[in-house]
Amino acid sequence: MSCCCLLVVGVLVGVAYVFHNVVVKGKQCTSRAKLHGKTVIVTGNNTGIGKSTAIDLAQRGARVILACRSKQRGQAALEEVKRESGSNQVVFMQCDLGSLKSVRSFAETFLKTEPRLDILINNAGIYMEGRTEDGLGMMFGVNHIGPFLLTNLLLERLKECGPSRVVNVCSSAHNVGHIDFDCLNKHKALGLGTSFREMCQIYSDSKLCNALFTHELAKRLQGTKVTCYSLHPGAIKTELTRNTKPVVQMIMKPMMFFLFKNPVQGAQSTLHCALQEGLEPLSGRYFSNCTVRQVYAKAKDDATSKKLWEISERLCGLA
């Protein structure tokens, strides 16, 4: 009996090992690209996959601009990225994606002080209820409108430095998202609920915005040397859920331990989209596990993406 038990335990351990290292860990970015003389912006890099992405890019020789909201956490991340990468070509610039004024200030400072921009990685994301200082729904404002404005303000510099890329960190959650344009027009938000289910829905809606933004951006960039991509990084052990209720965090912790990627593993699809050679014909497409994927029709609908673009322009003052 004891031998049978040991055999069962051994099989379970073996299956768990294979599952974690093959399914959960996923593929790695295989690009050996060096980035000396190139400049990259990474938003939301004071923790998680943003920080891991910044370290990898700095190791490749890029000048990396760390754009994040908290000055204190940003400065701490700056020192860590420098130490881990061995590079001094790393700069912190404060940028709060929940503030249109802050985004504009960041873009103005960057364009005045930095002559190049080769890769823009819109990595920052939030799972949190509330409103931004501009009255937008928090997740709509930070996850979509902030990156939308930042990208548009920097597009001319990206075009000047082409070939260049825009990488938008999306999520598979976009598959269950939908865009309520009536709610956007009336309330400047994707939804008004605050329950756990409603918050999950709003987060998914904001990720659908990322996919649609990428789709529309690719169409508008045709004929330029700028390409763009969206991606699902995987389920990651990061601080994204730090603003959720304690009971949710308690439930998530054991799941994260076994089923979620660590930040280095979670950064691989971002790096693939930023660096992999030959992706230009796939501009506007969605990636997961370093592989291009098909998306539902709603994530590449021309009419919806155009309408979202026009509303976004109006809400952030570009129209």
State the sign of the Cα–Cα–Cα–Cα dihedral 138, 140, 143, 144. Answer: negative
Residue 14 has pLDDT above 90, yes or no: no
| Cα 7 to Cα 269: distance, rounded to the nearest angstrom | 37
CB neighbours of residue 89 within 10 Å: 17
Residue 13: band (very low, low, confident or very high) from pLDDT cuts 50, 70, 90: very low
Domain boundaries, the chain: 31-233+263-315
The pTM assigned to this predicted structure is 0.88
Taking 90 as the threshold, does the pLDDT of residue 21 lie above it?
no
Q: Give percent above pLDDT 70 in the chain.
A: 85
| Model confidence pLDDT, tens digit, residues 154-172 | 999 999 999 999 999 999 9
- Is the domain defined by 31-233+263-315 classed in CATH 3.40.50.720? yes
H helices present in 176-301, as ranges: 181-187, 196-220, 246-259, 263-266, 268-275
Distance CA 102, CA 122 (A): 15
Q: At what angle do helices 48-59 and 268-275 cross, to 10 degrees?
A: 40
- Residues annotated catalytic, as ranges: 203
pLDDT for residue 287: 98
Euclidean distance between CA atoms 11 and 216, whole angstroms: 48
Cβ partners under 8 Å of residue 305, min gap 6? 212, 213, 215, 216, 219
